[in-house]
Amino acid sequence: EPEVTQTPSHQVTQMGQEVILRCVPISNHLYFYWYRQILGQKVEFLVSFYNNEISEKSEIFDDQFSVERPDGSNFTLKIRSTKLEDSAMYFCASRGRQGTSNQPQHFGDGTRLSIL
């Protein structure tokens, strides 16, 4: 069964450094998402991406964050200058075809980001 893959599984970075989290969504999917889960908290939405542009972003997704689909397969999340509070599990998700929103999002296994 097709799946969303994320790399790396664990990223340790010094505060203030840039980090790029990578995702390969399911190949025929059109909608892409990033979520994060801080330890002990809910999974929370960061950003959605469709047709090569951001379709929605949360308050968390400030100027330090950016997303890109550099080629036909990868979808990346960049954090420009990491803070301690960016430490979390980051999940990529994708969803299928155009039209109805009533399709499930499929998630990768996440990248655990640890900021020191």
Partner 1 sequence: DQQVKQNSPSLSVQEGRISILNCDYTNSMFDYFLWYKKYPAEGPTFLISISSIKDKNEDGRFTVFLNKSAKHLSLHIVPSQPGDSAVYFCAASAAGDYKLSFGAGTTVTVRA
**Residue among 44 and 68 whose Cβ is closer to partner 1:** 44
Q: How far is the CB of 37 from partner 1 (least distance, A)?
A: 9
Partners of 43 in the β-ladder: 37
Give the span between the Cα atoms of 67 and 46, in whole angstroms. Answer: 10
Segment near partner 1 (CB under 8 A), from 12-20, 37-45, 63-71, 79-87?
37-45
Q: How far is the CB of 16 from partner 1 (least distance, A)?
A: 28
* Residue 16 φ/ψ region, left for φ over 0, alpha for ψ in the -120 to 50 degree band, beta for the rest: left
The answer to whether residue 31 forms part of the interface with partner 1 (CB under 8 A) is yes
Give the span between the Cα atoms of 80 and 56, in whole angstroms. Answer: 20
**Residue among 6 and 87 whose Cβ is closer to partner 1:** 6
Binding site for partner 1 (CB under 8 A): 4, 6, 31, 33, 35, 41-45, 48, 55-56, 58, 91, 95, 101-102, 104-110
